[in-house]
Copies of this chain bind each other. A is one copy, B any other.
Amino acid sequence: MPLDPALRDRIITAVADGFSEQIAHTQALMRFPSIRGDEQAIQDFVFRSFRDRGYAMDRFAMDRAQIEAHPGGARFSPEHSEAPIVVGIHRPRAEIGRSLILQAHVDVVPPGPADLWTHPAFEPVVEGDWLYGRGGADMKAGHAANLFVLDALRRIGLQPAATVTLQSVVEEESTGNGALMTHLRGYRADAVLIPEPEEEMLVRANTGVLWFRVEVRGRPVHVREMGTGANAIDAAYRVIGALRALEERWNADKAGRPHFEGEAHPINLNIGRIEGGDWASSVPAWCRIDCRIALYPGVSAAEAAREIEAAVAAFSRDDAFLSNSPPSVSFHGFFAEGYVLEEGSEAEAVLGRAHEAATGAVLKSFMTAGYLDTRVHALYDRVPALCYGPKSENIHGFDERVSLASLRRITTAMALFVAEWCGTEAA
């Protein structure tokens, strides 16, 4: 049932009144250089900011055995984060409304070469409407919004009339194991909202993502006799060629897939990292590439992994060098299926009304071709999992930035959504 217009206006004002403080909190989060493995300090900060507001707290580690046994769990590698998951729980006086999980991740991707940034990556700077810095858009702005939505209600003497669980996870940029762990811990709600930077739209469909590493071994010799040696770097580039062919086959398979057949190139293969050889004057003995590829919803990670292994093996059989020294393929990160948010859910209808009230525009939905933690809730919690968030530019790139005007609109829409979805009671 749509919100009472007077309440709606009070909430809009309450979000506006807290917005300076919300930006300051976002900037505080952004000052933590929380790349993978370095999220202990920020999770302590998050823990304090939840606890200081009186939420019931839960803090827990990943359960490796449980995660690795799950079909959507990624195998642990030495780089896997050991930071905890932090959860703050609002429990209403009376559980009248529908419960909600508000989730966000604190891990950010590496900033890359410092000299390609206009401002230092972990020193947030506002210029005009843009808040600059690594991880601001993806997704510390959303992380802060989750908290400030509840603050806004409190500012006008209200709180949700249902359980709202604030979840701060890690490993979103590498495995998705953090979100999966909240599922394995047993948290459930009637809906989930994750405010990733989604251009003020709702994610309708999302690809799965696989990370894999290909390692090639050569037989090095002195470069004076290099004709007789195999060069692992050259061999790795030939394998990349074979993987590009697989990528094209998967793209050609878009026909008949509702959210994908209209896209020019829905499946992207990224060769994100390469390393090989020890010495300019030695023919390189080894080369490894770290790759990421997208999967259509409905294709399981295990199925896709088998296809990749088969493609590398088939190519190698016909390659003079690789046939003697077949590359190894290993899966050390995302092992995630995609999902589709089915149309017609009540959660989506409520968010649509909230969005329209906050922005004056109809809520649009779209397909996005990168990994999202909402897959855990869509596939395994089996509840409406809404991924929706502010406008941004250059996430994962240099001078990553989030629009403050958009963030304010989104926070307003989220607050209206919470008020209608959960209902409100006196704080």
Contact = CB atoms under 8 A, between A and B. Distances in A.
A223 B272 CA distance: 9
A282 B281 CA distance: 30
Contact of A277 (B229, B274, B281): B274
Interface string A215-231: 00101111110110101
A284 to B, nearest CB: 6
A217 B292 CA distance: 20
Interface string A106-141: 000110110010000000000000000000001000
Interface size class on chain A is 35 or more
Contact of A271 (B113, B233, B268, B334): B233
A279 B285 contact: no
A173 interface: yes
B397 A222 contact: yes
Nearest to A173: B281
A388 to B, nearest CB: 16
Contact of A222 (B174, B231, B333, B370): B370
B398 A285 contact: yes
Interface in A212-259: 217, 219-224, 226-227, 229, 231, 233-234, 237, 240
A72 to B, nearest CB: 17
A276 B273 contact: yes
Nearest to A226: B268
A424 to B, nearest CB: 36
Given A209-B281, A282-B109, A221 B394 contact: yes
A368 interface: yes
Interface string A44-70: 000000000000000000000000000
A368 B224 CA distance: 7
Contacts of A6: none
B280 A273 contact: yes
Contact of A282 (B279, B287, B396): B396
Contact of A397 (B220, B394, B397): B220
Given A220-B397, A271-B284, A110 B278 contact: yes
B221 A109 contact: no
A76 to B, nearest CB: 16
B224 A268 contact: yes
A222 B398 contact: no
A32 interface: no
A292 B396 contact: no
25 contacts: A109-B282, A110-B282, A112-B220, A112-B278, A113-B217, A113-B285, A116-B285, A209-B281, A220-B398, A221-B396, A222-B396, A231-B270, A233-B274, A270-B282, A271-B284, A272-B279, A272-B284, A273-B277, A273-B278, A274-B287, A275-B276, A279-B290, A281-B334, A282-B397, A283-B397
Interface of A: 109-110, 112-113, 116, 138, 173-174, 209, 211, 217, 219-224, 226-227, 229, 231, 233-234, 237, 240, 264-265, 268, 270-287, 290-292, 333-334, 368-371, 394-398
Given A112-B285, A173-B281, 6 more contacts: A109-B282, A110-B282, A222-B397, A223-B272, A270-B280, A273-B277
